[in-house]
């Protein structure tokens, strides 16, 4: 059992969810994972972001704001990476399955976390766009209430995101921050649900990912307690006459992240989340 660095204060007992995700991504990383990561960041930072086929000619004039939407050039921009992935799935460019989804209340986490299996079905490139109004267009806007932007430019172009399987990590509760993406080796014809299940088992076996179990131990008397699934109610562990206790009422947390031992009254209890 490997303990994850545990933050302990008067009002918190948790580990950094982002670090637990990074542990899984580091164990899985292969070439090309960074390209999906950067494409997701680009599409999540622009008001408009088109996914296009690599090397396909895209005339600047074809990107005018008044051009009707096209199936071969979907706008995948969203307010977070999870929204971008939903857009990719909606356009048929990718299949997305949940590998792991956990709110902070179900474990010793500072925020929620997600792992997603993403199967990119066709290579694509993301074009970040900027649209704005000229002075003349702003005058027309003032008179008529609405006009299309008459100025536009491609602000950024991502590298080609190759087809294949990826593991994507996110943290958050309602809006999700992208932690990273890693390429993973699965056959292109594998079922997404089977891939997600296998990736979940890998995550559980990864040192530094576990955050559901918290062990507390007194350094003086050796008494031990454990709590599960984010609970602050610690129950005695092993052959001991020590009683259970609640972290919320145990006493002041020291600068080193320990609390007074409720059993021997002289030692300090440290915590280990795994």
Q: What would the pLDDT profile of 46-72 be if each residue is shown by its tens digit?
A: 999 999 999 989 888 889 888 888 899
Q: Please state the domain extents for the chain.
A: 15-204, 213-273
Residue 254, CA atoms < 13 Å, CB-side half-sphere: 11
3-state SS, residue 130: strand
CB-count exposure of residue 70 (10 Å: 0-12, 13-18, 19+): exposed
Q: What would the pLDDT profile of 185-228 be if each residue is shown by its tens digit?
A: 999 999 999 999 999 999 999 999 999 999 999 999 999 999 99
Rg (C-alpha) for the chain, rounded Å, is 25
**How many percent of the chain have pLDDT more than 70?**
100
Measure the CA–CA gap between 271 and 3, rounded to whole angstroms. Answer: 9
Query: Does the CA dihedral 191-178-215-249 come out positive or negative?
Result: negative
Q: What would the pLDDT profile of 239-253 be if each residue is shown by its tens digit?
A: 888 999 999 988 889
Q: What is the token pair recorded at 57?
A: 């000619």
Residue 67 to residues 78, 149, 150, Cα–Cα distance (Å): 20, 11, 12
Residues 148, 150, 155, 156, Cα dihedral to 10°: 60
How confident is residue 1, by pLDDT bands cut at 50, 70 and 90?
low
How confident is residue 166, by pLDDT bands cut at 50, 70 and 90?
very high
* DSSP of 193-227: HHHHHHHHHHHHTSTTT--SEEEEEETTT--EEEE
| Average pLDDT rounded to a whole number, residues 85-104 | 98
Name every residue whose Cβ is closer than 8 Å to that of residue 178 and which is 6 or more positions away in sequence. 37, 40, 41, 44, 80, 81, 168, 169, 170
| Average pLDDT rounded to a whole number, residues 83-98 | 98
| Average pLDDT rounded to a whole number, residues 118-145 | 90
């Amino acid at each position: 059992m490997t303990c994850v660095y545990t933050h302990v204060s008067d009002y918190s007992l948790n580990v950094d969810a982002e670090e637990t995700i990074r542990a899984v991504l580091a164990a899985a990383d292969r070439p090309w994972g960074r390209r999906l990561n950067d494409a997701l960041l680009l599409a999540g930072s622009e008001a408009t972001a088109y996914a296009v086929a690599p090397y396909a000619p895209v005339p600047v004039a074809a990107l005018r704001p008044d051009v009707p939407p096209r199936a071969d050039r979907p706008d995948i921009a969203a307010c977070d990476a999870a929204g971008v992935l939903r857009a990719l799935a909606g356009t048929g460019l990718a299949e997305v399955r949940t590998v792991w989804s956990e709110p902070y209340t179900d474990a010793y986490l500072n925020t929620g976390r997600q792992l997603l299996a993403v199967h990119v079905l066709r290579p694509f490139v993301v074009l970040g766009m900027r649209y704005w109004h000229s002075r003349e267009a702003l005058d027309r806007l003032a008179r008529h209430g609405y006009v299309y932007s008459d100025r536009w430019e491609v602000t950024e172009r991502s590298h080609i995101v190759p087809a294949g399987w990826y593991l994507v990590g996110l943290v958050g509760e309602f809006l999700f921050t992208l932690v990273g993406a890693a390429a993973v080796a699965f056959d292109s014809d594998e079922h997404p649900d089977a891939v997600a299940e296998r990736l979940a088992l890998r995550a559980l076996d990864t040192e530094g990912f576990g955050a559901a179990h918290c062990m507390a131990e007194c350094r003086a008397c050796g008494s031990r307690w454990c709590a599960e699934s984010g609970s602050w109610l610690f129950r005695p562990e092993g052959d001991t006459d020590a009683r259970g206790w609640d972290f919320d009422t145990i006493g002041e947390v020291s600068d080193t992240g320990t609390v007074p031992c409720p059993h021997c009254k002289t030692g300090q209890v440290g915590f280990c989340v795994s």
